[in-house]
Structure 1
Amino acid sequence: MSTTTATAATAAPATGRAVPRSISFGLGSGAMLQGLNSSMIAVAIVGIAAHFGSTSGIAWVISGLYIATAVTSPVAGTLAARIGPRKVYLAGLVLIAVGAVLGAMAPTLGWLIFARILLGIGTSSQYPAAITIVRMIADRRGGQTRSALAVLNVCSQAMVALGPTVGGVLVGLFGWQSIMWVNLPLVLMTAVWVLSVVPKDPVGASGAGAGGLRSARARRDFLRSLDPVGMLAFLGVITATMFFLLSLTTDPLWPLVPVLVGLTAAFVRWELRVPAPFIDVRTVARNRALCLTLGRTLLTYTAFYCVFFGLPQWLQGARGFSSGTAGLLMLPIAGVGIGATILATRLYGARGARPVLLVGTLGLTVGGLALVFLGSTSTPVVVLVLVACVLGIPNGFNNMGNQNVINAVTGVREVGTALGMYRTVQYIGANLAAVVIELTTRGVVGDEGLHRLGTVIAVIGVVLLVGVIGSRTLRMPAPVLDAGARVRAGSEA
């Protein structure tokens, strides 16, 4: 899509009915599983290390899920468009259940890491598939999708907020294995809900037409249409990127740099040649709005995870709060983020993406400056709570602004892959944040380290603010989402 077309699409007024709430909340119940599994683990690490008698490799229990999610989210989006989003969503639930059972019964730490990787793959399927389902339903109804996007984001953010609390209670009562077992009733509830309210995938969603995949030739053609070579090359690029970023906090793996460059070149070259690419790099390169939004997302999540990982360390290490108290002081970030998501959805419907992103980036800048000037061992607790509330604003506004722009500038067959890339960029940002924290704090998040970290966050906020103000694709004040998306859906039909 050209810049002009993207701008027009993002300026179109939103009309029509919203996606039914029963469907939105049904899909959102599965989206909760990613936030739950990524946040509960923080309170279980000590118990896991004690159970296996070693801290060696324990970091991979956390990183394994992040890497798997980053790598497989775009793959899940592509599969949702090719074989049907409902099938992919339900298949992801099956993987979550298998990973939960394996993790709870893991005889060694290696098996637990493998189980967490399965959980990452399974939970990565939920959001891209859910978005594809929402777009298909909205396009058929001639409706808007922003309400459904808000529901999915609220469900996910609620679990990020409640995950440490829920995990702490479960681990205290039943041991660390309980954070794995808790997935099973949630998977069952979600599966029953989705099977009951979400329409079946349209006939021919497998990509093979009405004849299905009965013949060997049809199966070969379908497999070729998925571009398995492109998928594998992409997996290699993202995996090498994540491993390299993780290594920067300990012992940098510099030999991975030429490997990463070579894999990236091979991936781009292959995608330019294949008739049905996994990621159409030509289209992505021409879609300036999509590229800019993914860039904004990378910076936004780097700043977010700097707060999410760095602030609790300061609260416990410098201020001497217990892990439980530190968790409570972090709750306003997630709580305000949920409220900000709802407000951002309404503002987006009335004014479009630019005001939403202006509020989000301004909040990020102010929050970073607050950490610079207020972050000290003498800061009253009430002020810390107020700062946490400010830091919750950018999460909701930036999430809704960026995701709605991606939804607006991609077609129904592209949106799952595009929002899968959004998730990939999110977790690359998480690893970049770990590097930033290590460089700014030198391993100890004291007052000076927090001030430096706040400076980085404020600088990121200023850069994003300037970018939003100067962006041509965000200048139109009209609502962004639905008419342009429906136009593209009609042209694809």
Structure 2
Amino acid sequence: MSATFADTAVAQKSPSVPFRVSGSVATGSILQPLNSSMIAVAIVGIAAQFGSSSGITWVISALYIATAVTAPMAGKLGALLGARKVYLGGLALVALGSVAGLLAPTVGWLIFSRILVGIGTATQYPNAMTMIRGYAERHGAQPRTAITTLAICSQGVVALGPTLGGLLVGAFGWQSIMWINLPIVAFSAVAVTKFANVGFVGGMSVSRRQLVHALDVVGVLLFLALVSSTMLFLLSITTDPVWWLIPVWALVLALFVQWERRAGEPFIDVRALARNRALTATLARTLLTYTAFYCVFFGIPQWLQYSRGMGATEAGLTMLPVAVVGIGSTLLASRTYRRHGVRRTLTIGTCALLVGGVLLASVESSTAPIVVLLMVAAVLGIPNGFNNIGNQNLISSVTSVEEVGTAIGMYRTVQYIGANLSAVVLQTTAGHVIGDDGLHRTGWFIAITGVLLLAGVLMSRNMGDRRSAA
């Protein structure tokens, strides 16, 4: 029997992480996907109140830039100060940002509130994973079921966001996507405090100087400059390209790589990424996957409102099949991963993405009956579960418990960058007002992305059969 199958047999005999632990830490993980996807149906109302300016785009992008920078740092902070402590601190920031958004008098204040929410929501997932892995190692439990719970509560909720957001916005206005955070924050704080006291998970006595050194503040600032300059250039392509940003971007990239190679405690360990090819390939695959993923969740609701004349509630309900199928596919993907390994799991996910893109590009959007649109939406819900379960378990299997928080933070970072890139893709394929032709071009982009991902999965030599860590 191979080592992989022997390890799998042992893992199957091991108890699972109790739901009181995985469920409690998963409660806060729904905040990021909710805030990232509810905005898709709220952005029309926000533009109507504040005016359709370039600042509206940054209402979406600001949250992702904030989370992209914060996620890896949150995992490292959890290792230094304690995963639960950082998790709860993030919840407090979400509450503060939500209140600021409710009271925002201008779009600038709204962008600032979204930054606060982005920083806060970035802390939950990596520290939830650290607590789960820490519990599993101390008690000899297998984390696969807990990872599935996290996946459903995070990525499944992304698909549910437009539906919930549509209902809230239709009934109470766009401000409702901010105040809905407050009861979730309160419930999560109580649940984590009561049930997620899983023992010593990180946390040590460090001075302020040691903390600054460990967090690699220079690396963080360079990464922020790198992400911001990338987004500024990409968002300018469809209007008036800011060409001088290209040499600035290249310079910042060179400085970032050079600094991180020499830093004692790097923000992004570029040397580890070079050594761990499986991790690097997974992050690259995740970037492409989520660029296509968010094209669906930003593009379709806006098209339904602009071209089909639907209200926010109707558009949100039309996206409901994506959520239902996404949650079901996550459960099925977990079983597929356990029985057949990561390659088959990702193959199913990428094939579904390809088929969904072709359907979106081919359907007669304006004249198609609503049932046809619901069927297309359902197909587009399949890739979410399979790709997320495959990639996330693969990252868990190639990192240690000390590294997993930072690695998952990096995983989330590339998701957020993919979300930002999707905004650029939509601007390029569909423009400010998404019509039928723009939706078709977006569908072809998703299909082409599916082809590239499928080829990468089938030809990868760094994937293997890593069921044991699940």
TM-score (norm. length: structure 2): 0.91
Residue from 429, 448, 458 that aligns with 2:437: 448
Q: 2:211 and 2:363 mapped to 1: Cα distance?
A: 58
Cα contact 2:98–2:179 (8 A) shared by 1? yes
Cα contact 2:29–2:121 (8 A) shared by 1? yes
Gaps of 5+ in 2: none
The 10-residue stretch of structure 1 (318-327 or 246-255) with the greater mean CA deviation from structure 2: 318-327
Alignment of 1:49-448 (within 5 A): 49=47, 51-52=49-50, 55=53, 57-199=55-197, 202=200, 205-207=202-204, 212-213=205-206, 218-443=207-432, 445-448=434-437
Q: 1:409 and 1:186 mapped to 2: Cα distance?
A: 32
What is the CA-CA distance between 1:251 and the residue it aligns to?
A: 2.8
Over residues 223-243 of structure 1, what are the superposed CA-to-partner deviations in whole Å (9 max), with x where a residue is unaligned?
323322222222222222233
Residues 427/21 of structure 1: CA separation in 2 closer, same or farther (3 Å cut): same
The 10-residue stretch of structure 1 (17-26 or 374-383) with the greater mean CA deviation from structure 2: 374-383
Residues 8/459 of structure 1: CA separation in 2 closer, same or farther (3 Å cut): farther
What is the CA-CA distance between 1:168 and the residue it aligns to?
A: 3.9
Is the partner of 2:30 in helix, strand or coil?
Answer: helix
Cα contact 2:83–2:203 (8 A) shared by 1? no
Cα contact 1:245–1:431 (8 A) shared by 2? no
Query: Is 1:481 aligned to residue 469 of structure 2?
Result: yes
Residues 438/125 of structure 1: CA separation in 2 closer, same or farther (3 Å cut): same
Over residues 438-465 of structure 1, what are the superposed CA-to-partner deviations in whole Å (9 max), with x where a residue is unaligned?
3333555444333332222212111111
Q: 2:41 and 2:140 mapped to 1: Cα distance?
A: 45
For 1:423, the aligned partner's letter is R
What is the CA-CA distance between 1:39 and the residue it aligns to?
A: 2.6
Is the partner of 2:265 in helix, strand or coil?
Answer: coil
The 10-residue stretch of structure 1 (415-424 or 291-300) with the greater mean CA deviation from structure 2: 415-424
The 10-residue stretch of structure 1 (237-246 or 43-52) with the greater mean CA deviation from structure 2: 43-52
The 10-residue stretch of structure 1 (35-44 or 19-28) with the greater mean CA deviation from structure 2: 35-44
Q: 1:51 and 1:453 mapped to 2: Cα distance?
A: 28
Q: 2:438 and 2:461 mapped to 1: Cα distance?
A: 37
Cα contact 2:156–2:385 (8 A) shared by 1? no
Over residues 350-398 of structure 1, what are the superposed CA-to-partner deviations in whole Å (9 max), with x where a residue is unaligned?
2211111010011111111222333443433322222221111111100
Q: 1:164 and 1:459 mapped to 2: Cα distance?
A: 25
The RMSD of aligned alpha carbons is 2.5
Gaps of 5+ in 1: 1-6, 483-493
For 1:199, the aligned partner's letter is N
Cα contact 2:361–2:439 (8 A) shared by 1? yes
Q: 1:80 and 1:413 mapped to 2: Cα distance?
A: 10
Residues 59/9 of structure 1: CA separation in 2 closer, same or farther (3 Å cut): farther
The 10-residue stretch of structure 1 (146-155 or 353-362) with the greater mean CA deviation from structure 2: 146-155
Residues 139/178 of structure 1: CA separation in 2 closer, same or farther (3 Å cut): same
The 10-residue stretch of structure 1 (235-244 or 350-359) with the greater mean CA deviation from structure 2: 235-244
Cα contact 1:372–1:452 (8 A) shared by 2? yes
Residues 439/9 of structure 1: CA separation in 2 closer, same or farther (3 Å cut): farther
Residues 196/238 of structure 1: CA separation in 2 closer, same or farther (3 Å cut): same
**What fraction of aligned residue pairs are identical, expressed as a percent?**
59
For 1:239, the aligned partner's letter is S
Is the partner of 2:123 in helix, strand or coil?
Answer: helix
Cα contact 2:167–2:316 (8 A) shared by 1? no
For 1:391, the aligned partner's letter is L
The 10-residue stretch of structure 1 (273-282 or 182-191) with the greater mean CA deviation from structure 2: 273-282
Q: 2:307 and 2:43 mapped to 1: Cα distance?
A: 21
Q: How many residues align?
A: 466
The 10-residue stretch of structure 1 (87-96 or 168-177) with the greater mean CA deviation from structure 2: 168-177
Q: 1:25 and 1:36 mapped to 2: Cα distance?
A: 17
Q: 1:94 and 1:359 mapped to 2: Cα distance?
A: 39
Is the partner of 1:413 in helix, strand or coil?
Answer: helix
The 10-residue stretch of structure 1 (364-373 or 239-248) with the greater mean CA deviation from structure 2: 239-248
TM-score (norm. length: structure 1): 0.87
Q: 2:103 and 2:441 mapped to 1: Cα distance?
A: 43
What is the CA-CA distance between 1:290 and the residue it aligns to?
A: 0.6
For 2:299, the aligned partner's letter is G
Residues 114/131 of structure 1: CA separation in 2 closer, same or farther (3 Å cut): same
Is the partner of 1:474 in helix, strand or coil?
Answer: coil
The 10-residue stretch of structure 1 (103-112 or 317-326) with the greater mean CA deviation from structure 2: 317-326
Cα contact 1:10–1:481 (8 A) shared by 2? no
Cα contact 1:348–1:480 (8 A) shared by 2? no
